Amino acid sequence: MAAMSKASLIVAAIFLLSLTSATVAHGLRSGRKFVMSYDEPCMEMRLYLHDILYDYSNSTSNSTSAAATKPTALATAVPSTGGTFFGRMVVFNDPMTKGKALPPSLEETAVRAQGFYFYDKKEDFSAWFAFSIVFNSTEHRGTLNLMGADPNTATRDISVVGGTGDFFMSRGVATLRTDAFEGFTYFRLQMDIKLYECYLGLMATWSNASLIVAAVVVLGLSSASVAHGRRGRSFVSSYDAPCKEMRLYLHDIIYDYSNSTSNSTSAAATKPTALSTAVSNPGYFFGEMVVFNDPMTEGKALPSPAMEKTAVRAQGLYLYDKKEAPNAWFAFSVVFNSTAHRGTLNLMGADLMSEKTRDLSVVGGTGDFFMARGVATLSTDEASADLSYFRLKVDIKLYECYV
């Protein structure tokens, strides 16, 4: 009860009871009700994603994905890790099915996954995903948008950060499991999607009596358990003061062909664009995309000598996106794997490098950071002249979290 008073819980209960008159501006049907339940999902489904990578030898009609970039120089410079494809980005438009079998027509399935993944680890297979699940059937129309780190573990969680149509404003967690694979050309992912914030059709799913039960659940949140997090947590939504905050330092060491491959934590997956080389300031790298798997530390010192074994890592990409001055855009996951925390935080946003401080959005989380949202404030703490090394101070403040 430290985070939410009884009065606050009563207000939340009254809010739930008032949902009978709520409507959705962007939904396909009127009369939908917003449901926020962190004990049990308000909607769940299991789907299978089928990815068939084009490798020049297989059928173009059957292929559903293709490499948009080659593995980076860092991958090819280290023979022992070249097979992990560090930095290679794959663009996909994959069919998704309720069963495991491939659909007869790969191009005409009612549910598809559209987006990209890239490999982001030198010493082992690890990927990072950002994609939309597109529904186009009589059952559902709309999208779910997902992002997060996909490490080489039996199961892993990524965030559902938003939705449209029948999934208007939905948020939740998707648990991935590799169900089958054939070399590097085909894999099937089992995807268990659980939504904890969603709009539902009142008559089809939630009666007034159900909403009263939901209100009672809110009143009992102080003892609620979390399906994807630890038991006994309470959901806190506080916009005056953060419910959780931390300071971390991100260390990025880009491989430039001359520095040590063992110390490098990032590499350019694309070259600067023709626009960058045509203007008078090509040093701003317009269009260059960098894939990174950077250590994060509580102090400023680099975690020497074990660069690859830090308990907190930032995995994702940034790209330079301005002609006349250095400027970047980030999308990445902060991955925690320690006794203090396990889980991820997913961040995205513009890094206006000319500003002393700049904010990114924390759009979701998993594990100990289940359904978290907030703001991460960046400041450049140190940087070399050629940007081959920089250290960012990252002040993370969560305003929606379990505590």
Task: Quote the radius of gyration of the chain (alpha carbons, Å).
Answer: 22
More confident residue, 198 or 215: 198
Asked if 244 and 372 touch (Cβ cutoff 8 Å), the reply is yes
326-338 pLDDT, tens digit each = 789 999 999 999 8
How many C-beta atoms lie closer than 10 Å to residue 216's C-beta? Answer: 11
Highest mean pLDDT, choosing among 104-108, 137-141, 226-230: 137-141
First CA to last CA across the chain, in angstroms? 11
Confidence of residue 283 (pLDDT cuts 50, 70, 90): low
140-184 pLDDT, tens digit each = 999 999 999 999 899 999 999 999 999 999 999 999 999 999 988
Residues 6+ apart with CB under 8 A from 256: 386, 388
Q: What's this model's pTM, rounded to 2 decimal places? A: 0.83
Asked if 94 and 51 touch (Cβ cutoff 8 Å), the reply is yes
Domains of the chain: 43-200 (2.40.480.10), 244-402 (2.40.480.10)
pLDDT at 6 > cutoff 70: no
Asked if 119 and 87 touch (Cβ cutoff 8 Å), the reply is yes
Tokens representing 106? 């790969």
pLDDT at 97 > cutoff 80: yes
pLDDT at 171: 96
Residue 36 CB-half CA count within 13 A = 14
pLDDT at 299 > cutoff 80: yes
Average pLDDT, the chain: 83
pLDDT at 365 > cutoff 90: yes
Asked if 344 and 153 touch (Cβ cutoff 8 Å), the reply is no
Secondary structure (H, E, C), 315-338 = EEEEEECCCCCCCEEEEEEEEEEC
Q: List b or e across 250-276, with b for residues whose CB sees 16 or more CB atoms inside 10 angstroms.
A: bbbbbbeeeeebeebbbbbbbebeeeb
**Percent of the chain with pLDDT strictly greater than 90:** 55
From the list 107, 106, 129, the residue with the least C-alpha distance to 119 is 129
pLDDT at 217: 40
pLDDT at 60: 79
**Percent of the chain with pLDDT strictly greater than 70:** 80
> What is the sign of the dihedral through the CA atoms of 87, 305, 152 and 348?
negative
Confidence of residue 80 (pLDDT cuts 50, 70, 90): low
pLDDT at 28 > cutoff 60: no
pLDDT at 47: 98
pLDDT at 363: 98
pLDDT at 233: 62
pLDDT at 161: 97
- Outline where DSSP puts E strands in 352-402: 358-367, 373-383, 389-402
Asked if 160 and 173 touch (Cβ cutoff 8 Å), the reply is yes
pLDDT at 282: 62
Confidence of residue 235 (pLDDT cuts 50, 70, 90): confident
How far, CA to CA in Å, does 259 sit from each of 60, 76, 253, 264, 290? 39, 14, 9, 7, 16
Confidence of residue 275 (pLDDT cuts 50, 70, 90): confident
**C-beta contacts of 384-392 below 8 A and 24+ residues apart:** 386/256, 387/254, 387/326, 388/253, 388/254, 388/256, 388/259, 389/251, 389/252, 389/253, 389/254, 390/252, 391/249, 391/250, 391/251, 391/252, 391/300, 392/249, 392/250, 392/252
Q: Which single residue is written with the structure tokens 């594990």?
A: 367
pLDDT at 402: 78
Q: Which single residue is written with the structure tokens 């809010």?
A: 15
Confidence of residue 30 (pLDDT cuts 50, 70, 90): low
State the average pLDDT over residues 185-206: 80
Tokens representing 401? 């979290």
Residue 222 has phi, psi (to 5 degrees) of -65, -20
pLDDT at 207: 43
pLDDT at 200 > cutoff 60: yes
From the list 356, 357, 286, 358, the residue with the least C-alpha distance to 324 is 286
From the list 376, 373, 379, the residue with the least C-alpha distance to 360 is 376
> What is the sign of the dihedral through the CA atoms of 272, 277, 279 and 284?
positive
| H or E segment to which residue 76 belongs | helix 73-77
pLDDT at 195: 96
Confidence of residue 123 (pLDDT cuts 50, 70, 90): confident
pLDDT at 3 > cutoff 90: no
